[in-house]
Chain A
Amino acid sequence: MSAPPAGRPLPVVDADSAPFWAALRDRRLMVQWCGTCDRHVFYPRALCPHCHAELAEWVECSGSGTIHSYTVARRPAGPAFAADVPYVVVLVDLDEGVRMLSNLVTDDVDSVRIGARVAVRFEDVTDEITLPLFEPAPDA
């Protein structure tokens, strides 16, 4: 896909995730950071999954990362994505050390490679929701 599908199911924002989605509206990719064990945490939650300290701090990510794995969806994940096949689902390892699932926006789905560098691309979907998609890094 060159642009994300319009009818895709949108995240249902909750108390854990509200800061994450609010930051994205401002074009900032924020994740939690655990001061007790000095690790970034994604997705947002109450306790650190590594050391179980309470999570209170958020930090902004560079938005740069590496493709850990990917698949090209040749069949859609339901009717909302039917017009968009083929499209790329990626697991991105952000430079901060957390892994996110997203889409890689590209016109050449057969050019995707594990290990390739990618950069976040903010995709406004509604007034409330901006999705963190990815695209090949400019210098890649």
Chain B
Amino acid sequence: MRTAVIAGVADHPLRDGKLEPGGSVLAAQARVAAAALADAGASWSDVDGLLSTGMWGIPGVGQLPTVTLSEYLGLQPRFTDSSNIGGSSFESHLASAVRAIERGACDVALITYSSTQRSDRSRTLGGRAPVLTMQYETPYGMPTPVGGYALAAMRHMHEYGTTSEQLAEIAVATRAWAALNPAATRREPLTVDDVLASPMISDPLHQLDSCLVTDGAGAVVVTTEEHARACGATPVHVRGYGEAQSHWTIAAMPDLTVPPSAASGRRALEMAGIGVDDIDVVELYDSFTITVLLTLEALGFCRPGEGGEFVSGQRTAPGREFPMNTNGGGLSYAHPGMYGIFLLVEAVRQLRGECGPRQVAGARTALVNGTGGTLSSASTCVLSVA
């Protein structure tokens, strides 16, 4: 069987959280796709698969993102996937691209994403239109999405005694990684006290428990191992993947303290044939500090209820026991609304040893976990270099 690998990645330069040098979501995806193809040593004429989703152009052209993008990019792909399961979509797109390449449905797949939400000033805490299932949520003014995460955090604190200080440890450690990444948006030092003193948004989550609101664009090139080597790329293998969804409206979440990454992570690790102790570097979707804490427990890095203790003492900071969110994460690098593609970009760079001052020494195996909606969907990938 053909082996599919990641051959190239790219993220778009930002300045003060905005695309540099500006441009539309389509232009940004064109630039970042070109950069990822160059990184892979591949050419535009090789591309016969396109996977993309986003929140742009809705209602309108964005409802068919791969169709719109194919035209804009001058591509006529024979395989496309525009599944949207929220910010975790791109981990699922990677799995989809791998399956397509293994089966010969395409040879070179391009995964892209962009958002200009910061330049557009389009972000609010307003809920979704009060139709269908959202008629039981939106009329009550839950700040979206932070309110759903706040309900989960409040419940976790109630059940396990988790504290705001413990959640703040995650933001502080992630900022320390951002300080080592010249591409990160927020790089100034941060303390636990700073997080606790930042304005409360939705109890118990503060502003600095929350991700940034930035623009952004990213791309990933997936192809056969044979083609990647012929292009001179360093192949990154996709050893396992798994997906899970448990609810959409927060009232339907089976257990507020257990996100669907419990199932997606188990599936990905089983497929890879390894355990959590075999992971060298971890990239977890960090829309909020609580997202990370719940995901660490769900993936089995610690037991349920022990996430607060696990992250204490800056355990996830640079140079410590548990390297996590090494680009500075959605909390400090960038968060354009659907962050998942940047988890893949950073994991690949770590595995290829390209990360300079933030490089995790000897990183051979990475776990990436995307979270979408309001802890609604999860998609986990296990990546490695041979």
The reply on B73 being an interface residue by CB < 8 A is no
Q: How far is the CB of B164 from chain A (nearest CB, A)?
A: 13
**Which residue of A is nearest B135, CB measured?**
A11
**Which residue of A is nearest B257, CB measured?**
A69
**Which residue of A is nearest B152, CB measured?**
A69
How distant is the Cα of A129 from the Cα of B147 in the complex, in angstroms?
24
The reply on B144 being an interface residue by CB < 8 A is yes
Q: How far is the CB of B250 from chain A (nearest CB, A)?
A: 7
The reply on B313 being an interface residue by CB < 8 A is no
Q: A71-B147, A77-B125 are in contact. Are A114 and B141 (CB under 8 A)?
A: no
**Which residue of A is nearest B206, CB measured?**
A74
Name the one of A12, A42, A75, A100 contacting B143, with C-beta atoms under 8 angstroms. Answer: A75
Name the one of A11, A71, A75, A103 contacting B136, with C-beta atoms under 8 angstroms. Answer: A11
How distant is the Cα of A70 from the Cα of B204 in the complex, in angstroms?
10
Enumerate chain B residues within 8 angstroms of A87, measured Cβ to Cβ: 141
Q: A69-B154, A69-B158 are in contact. Are A76 and B249 (CB under 8 A)?
A: no
The reply on A5 being an interface residue by CB < 8 A is yes
For chain B residues 276-300, which have a beta carbon within 8 Å of chain A?
A: none
For chain A residues 45-74, which have a beta carbon within 8 Å of chain B?
A: 68-74
Q: Are B140 and A80 in contact (CB under 8 A)?
A: no
Enumerate chain B residues within 8 angstroms of A42, measured Cβ to Cβ: 136
How distant is the Cα of A17 from the Cα of B276 in the complex, in angstroms?
45
The reply on B155 being an interface residue by CB < 8 A is yes
Q: Are B138 and A9 in contact (CB under 8 A)?
A: yes
The reply on B319 being an interface residue by CB < 8 A is no
The reply on A27 being an interface residue by CB < 8 A is no
Q: Are A89 and B130 in contact (CB under 8 A)?
A: no
Q: Are A75 and B202 in contact (CB under 8 A)?
A: yes
Enumerate chain B residues within 8 angstroms of A137, measured Cβ to Cβ: none
Enumerate chain A residues within 8 angstroms of B252, measured Cβ to Cβ: 99
Name the one of A12, A17, A77, A99 contacting B126, with C-beta atoms under 8 angstroms. Answer: A77
How distant is the Cα of A78 from the Cα of B132 in the complex, in angstroms?
20
The reply on B275 being an interface residue by CB < 8 A is no
Q: Please report the total number of A residues contacting B with Cβ < 8 Å.
A: 37
Q: How far is the CB of A3 from chain B (nearest CB, A)?
A: 13
Q: Are B141 and A131 in contact (CB under 8 A)?
A: no
Name the one of A71, A76, A100, A102 contacting B154, with C-beta atoms under 8 angstroms. Answer: A71
The reply on B199 being an interface residue by CB < 8 A is yes
How distant is the Cα of A75 from the Cα of B147 in the complex, in angstroms?
10
How distant is the Cα of A9 from the Cα of B135 in the complex, in angstroms?
9
Q: How far is the CB of A71 from chain B (nearest CB, A)?
A: 4
Name the one of B126, B133, B151, B200 contacting A70, with C-beta atoms under 8 angstroms. Answer: B151
How many A-B residue pairs have C-beta atoms within 8 angstroms? Tell me: 120
Name the one of A77, A84, A91 contacting B151, with C-beta atoms under 8 angstroms. Answer: A91
Q: Are A78 and B136 in contact (CB under 8 A)?
A: no
**Which residue of A is nearest B125, CB measured?**
A77
Q: Are B202 and A69 in contact (CB under 8 A)?
A: no
How distant is the Cα of A101 from the Cα of B140 in the complex, in angstroms?
8
Q: Are A89 and B136 in contact (CB under 8 A)?
A: no
Enumerate chain A residues within 8 angstroms of B142, measured Cβ to Cβ: 71, 73, 77, 89, 101
Enumerate chain A residues within 8 angstroms of B131, measured Cβ to Cβ: 12, 14
Enumerate chain B residues within 8 angstroms of A76, measured Cβ to Cβ: 125, 141, 143
**Which residue of A is nearest B256, CB measured?**
A69
Identify the interface centre among A12, A69, A100, A103: most chain B CB within 10 Å of its CB.
A69
Q: A77-B141, A84-B141 are in contact. Are A89 and B127 (CB under 8 A)?
A: no
Q: How far is the CB of B145 from chain A (nearest CB, A)?
A: 10
The reply on A10 being an interface residue by CB < 8 A is yes
The reply on B201 being an interface residue by CB < 8 A is yes
Q: How far is the CB of A66 from chain B (nearest CB, A)?
A: 12
The reply on A81 being an interface residue by CB < 8 A is yes
**Which residue of B is nearest A70, CB measured?**
B154
The reply on B197 being an interface residue by CB < 8 A is no
How distant is the Cα of A88 from the Cα of B133 in the complex, in angstroms?
21
Q: A72-B202, A75-B201 are in contact. Are A101 and B141 (CB under 8 A)?
A: no
26 intermolecular pairs with C-beta atoms under 8 Å apart: A5-B141, A9-B127, A10-B130, A10-B139, A11-B130, A11-B138, A11-B139, A14-B131, A14-B132, A71-B142, A71-B147, A71-B203, A71-B204, A73-B147, A74-B202, A76-B141, A76-B143, A87-B141, A89-B141, A89-B142, A89-B143, A89-B202, A101-B137, A101-B250, A102-B140, A114-B158
Interface set of B (CB-CB < 8 Å, partner A)? 124-127, 129-133, 135-144, 147, 150-152, 154-155, 158, 199-205, 249-252, 256
Interface set of A (CB-CB < 8 Å, partner B)? 5, 8-14, 17, 42-43, 68-81, 84, 87, 89, 91, 99-103, 114-115, 131
- 7 residue pairs, one from A and one from B, having the closest CB atoms: A78-B126, A11-B135, A71-B150, A81-B141, A72-B203, A77-B141, A69-B155
